[in-house]
């Protein structure tokens, strides 16, 4: 996927979010560190431009909620978490790639420690299959089928200098 | 690539600049955890930590306990009075017995210098030094440095004067080692009787008069006069100490710039620091306490897992 394909995808996802939430009132967009944050910020801009709204925005780092933290040995670096009020809101969690579902499980647990949203939607740019938990996305950019050895690389302009999605097939 | 922290944290003297920066950077996101409504993350779930305090402590013990609990660790507090320590059990025996109950970490405060390192070499669990005699108090040094970094943006080139009872101060020693490693200039100021004889060999300058330290420094760390450790007559009287070395608004008003004032607590108000200064606009004494919890969370988090995964730190999931 190149930058134009990603832009078209995000535009469609933005309008789908508004449709699913029936408007922008009570809407909160939350990006999962790291590249989910950039994608979430762009979705927020797209929605705000189209709807003349100011929807609330947050960042979520799930490191401390990982279920493999006791097993990974060396500690991963912890990123920033800043969340607005979540009680009674419609929260859209945004991530770049949905794979095992474990990151989303951690994000749901972390959100629960911040408040009780009315509803939580999951929005991902790439759904690559391979779920290990009963979790599915509500809004999906592209679905691709991949094997366990494959890698899906999402690059975003803000962090990587370009917008691109590449599937690197494992041997 | 920075070196991992290793098993124990016993002294800032043994850490590299990168390791110190790693702890400070890790402390940043932990500040936010303490501001949440539910001040708890599951990072250390299932870890058991023993707080072994052979000396009185309020701030440090509670700070460690908050840090442990906010990371979801299970904690047990052992004080020397009312435990088998008062029956004459040795330090190593106490720790080995605790270890037989499958603990993961020991936080120790002890009156003997070097006790934390001694213990760390003899048990498998991680050992964190919460103050060992006159040696070091690494987490206090780290929280002081974090507070300075919050205030000034960086430590390199900063001029920090550590004033008062350097002779008995583990806080002073940890500050000196940590600040010098990060590129600060450090001076010490106090009565000659309360400065260690070889203090310049640590890489600091001696400024005999507090008035000169105020002219020179960007920040002052005012140490507590450790009255309980003073067996010999180090100073003629508390009043005289206050007159010659006490930090007062009168002295502070002559500073060429706004100084940041730190104190590790507990304060002897009216001795080493006057109340107007301690409660004044330049004091960061309470932010120091807040940062203490974040720094200790960072240390616990890092030691519980060994080295950070640097490859993953910048990559995508």
Domains of chain A, by residue range, sit at 3-168
B99 shares its domain with B160: no
Instruction: Return the pLDDT at B126.
Output: 94
Question: Per-residue pLDDT tens for B115-159?
Answer: 999 999 999 999 999 999 999 999 999 999 999 999 999 999 999
pLDDT tens string, chain A, 171 residues long: the values are 899 999 999 999 999 999 999 999 999 999 999 899 999 999 999 999 999 999 999 999 999 999 888 776 667 889 999 999 999 999 999 999 999 999 999 999 999 999 999 999 999 999 999 999 999 999 999 999 999 999 999 999 999 999 999 999 887
| CA–CA min distance A26, chain B (Å) | 20
Q: What is the domain extent for residue B244?
A: 138-289
Instruction: Return the pLDDT at B246.
Output: 95
d(CA B66, CA B88): 30
Q: Do A74 and B4 touch (CB under 8 A)?
A: yes
B62 shares its domain with B205: no
B156 shares its domain with B170: yes
| A81 burial via Cβ count (<10 Å: 0-12, 13-18, 19+) | buried
| CA–CA min distance B307, chain A (Å) | 4
d(CA B109, CA A116): 41
pLDDT band at B306 (very low <50, low <70, confident <90, very high): low
B33 vs A contacts (CB less than 8 Å): 64
Q: Is the pLDDT of residue B202 over 50?
A: yes
B313 vs A contacts (CB less than 8 Å): 76-77
* B315 within a domain of the structure (yes/no): no
Q: Is the pLDDT of residue B15 over 50?
A: yes
Entry pTM: 0.90
Residue B240 corresponds to which tokens in the numbers above? 């005289």
Q: Apex CA B146: angle with CA B145 and CA B152, to 5°?
A: 85
* B242 within a domain of the structure (yes/no): yes
B92 shares its domain with B190: no
Instruction: Return the pLDDT at B312.
Output: 41
Question: Per-residue pLDDT tens for A30-78?
Answer: 999 989 999 999 999 999 999 999 999 999 999 999 988 877 666 788 9
* B126 within a domain of the structure (yes/no): yes
Cis status of the peptide bond prior to A34, with omega within 30 of 0:
yes
Q: Does A61 touch chain B (CB under 8 A)?
A: yes
B23 shares its domain with B81: yes
Q: Does A80 touch chain B (CB under 8 A)?
A: yes
B98 shares its domain with B52: yes
B102 shares its domain with B82: yes
Q: What is the CATH number of the domain that holds B118?
A: 3.40.50.1370
Q: Do A113 and B43 touch (CB under 8 A)?
A: no
Q: How many CB pairs under 8 A join A and B?
A: 79
B213 shares its domain with B127: no
d(CA B147, CA B180): 16
B51 shares its domain with B91: yes
d(CA A60, CA B317): 14
Contact A44, A57 (CB under 8 A): yes
Instruction: Return the pLDDT at B311.
Output: 37
- Which residues lie closer than 8 Å to B49 by C-beta, 6 or more apart? B68, B73, B74, B75, B76, B103, B104, B105, B106, B107, B300
Three-class secondary structure of residue A58 per DSSP? strand
Q: Do A75 and B45 touch (CB under 8 A)?
A: no
Q: How many domains does chain B have?
A: 2
B130 shares its domain with B49: yes
What is the average pLDDT score of chain B? 91
B78 shares its domain with B147: no
Number of residues written out for chain A = 171
B46 vs A contacts (CB less than 8 Å): 70
C-beta neighbour count of A56 within 10 angstroms: 17
Q: Do B306 and A113 touch (CB under 8 A)?
A: no
pLDDT band at B309 (very low <50, low <70, confident <90, very high): very low
Q: What is the ipTM of this complex?
A: 0.84
Q: Do A70 and B309 touch (CB under 8 A)?
A: no
- Which of B36, B71, B307 is closest, CB to CB, to A113? B36
Q: Do B32 and A34 touch (CB under 8 A)?
A: no
* B79 within a domain of the structure (yes/no): yes
B120 shares its domain with B165: no
Of 3.30.1330.10, 3.40.50.2020, 3.30.70.260, 2.60.40.3500, which CATH number belongs to A3-168?
3.40.50.2020
Question: Per-residue pLDDT tens for B164-190?
Answer: 999 999 999 999 999 999 999 999 999
* B2 within a domain of the structure (yes/no): no
Q: Does A33 touch chain B (CB under 8 A)?
A: no
Instruction: Return the pLDDT at A73.
Output: 65
B48 vs A contacts (CB less than 8 Å): none
A107 to chain B: closest CA residue: B41
Q: Is the pLDDT of residue B308 over 60?
A: no
Q: Is the pLDDT of residue B315 over 50?
A: no
């Amino acid at each position: 996927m190149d930058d134009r394909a990603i832009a078209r995808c995000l535009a469609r996802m933005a309008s789908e979010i508004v449709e699913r939430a029936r408007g922008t009132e009570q809407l909160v967009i939350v990006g999962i560190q790291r590249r989910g944050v950039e994608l979430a910020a762009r979705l927020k801009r797209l929605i705000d431009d189209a709807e003349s709204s100011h929807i609330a925005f947050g960042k979520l780092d799930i490191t401390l909620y990982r279920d493999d933290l006791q097993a990974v040995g060396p500690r991963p670096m912890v990123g920033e978490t800043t969340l607005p009020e979540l009680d009674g809101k419609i929260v859209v969690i945004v991530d770049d790639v949905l794979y095992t579902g474990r990151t989303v499980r951690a994000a749901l647990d972390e959100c629960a420690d911040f408040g009780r949203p009315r509803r939580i939607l999951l929005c991902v740019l790439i759904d690559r299959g391979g779920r290990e938990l009963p979790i599915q996305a509500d809004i999906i950019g592209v679905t691709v089928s991949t094997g366990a050895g494959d890698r899906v690389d999402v690059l975003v302009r803000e962090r990587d200098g370009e917008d691109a999605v590449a599937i690197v097939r494992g041997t | 690539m920075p070196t991992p922290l290793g098993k124990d944290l016993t002294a800032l003297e043994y850490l590299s600049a990168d390791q110190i920066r790693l702890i400070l950077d890790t402390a940043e996101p932990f500040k936010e955890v303490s501001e949440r409504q539910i001040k708890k993350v599951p990072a250390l779930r299932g870890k058991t930590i023993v707080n072994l305090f052979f000396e009185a402590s309020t701030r440090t013990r509670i700070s460690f306990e908050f840090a442990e609990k906010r990371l979801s660790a299970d904690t047990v507090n052992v004080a020397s009075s009312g435990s088998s320590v008062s029956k004459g059990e040795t330090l190593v025996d106490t720790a080995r017995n605790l270890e037989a109950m499958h603990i993961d970490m020991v936080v120790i405060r002890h009156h003997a210098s070097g006790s934390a390192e001694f213990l760390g070499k003899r048990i498998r669990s991680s050992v964190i030094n919460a103050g060992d005699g006159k040696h070091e108090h690494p987490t206090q040094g780290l929280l002081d440095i974090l507070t300075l970094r919050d205030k000034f943006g960086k430590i390199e080139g900063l001029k920090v004067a550590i004033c008062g009872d350097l002779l008995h101060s583990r806080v002073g020693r940890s500050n000196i080692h940590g600040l010098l490693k990060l590129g600060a200039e450090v001076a010490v100021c106090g009565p000659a009787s309360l400065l260690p004889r070889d203090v310049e060999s640590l890489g600091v300058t001696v400024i005999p008069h507090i008035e000169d330290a105020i002219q020179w420094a960007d920040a002052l760390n005012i140490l507590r006069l450790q009255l309980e450790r003073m067996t010999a007559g180090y100073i003629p009287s508390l009043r005289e100490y206050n007159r010659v070395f006490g930090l007062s608004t009168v002295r502070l008003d002559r500073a060429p710039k706004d100084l940041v004032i730190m104190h590790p607590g507990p304060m002897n108000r009216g001795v080493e620091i006057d109340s107007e200064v301690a409660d004044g606009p330049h004091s960061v004494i309470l932010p120091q306490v807040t940062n203490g919890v974040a720094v200790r969370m960072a240390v616990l988090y890092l030691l519980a897992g060994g080295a950070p995964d640097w490859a993953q730190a910048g990559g995508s999931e």
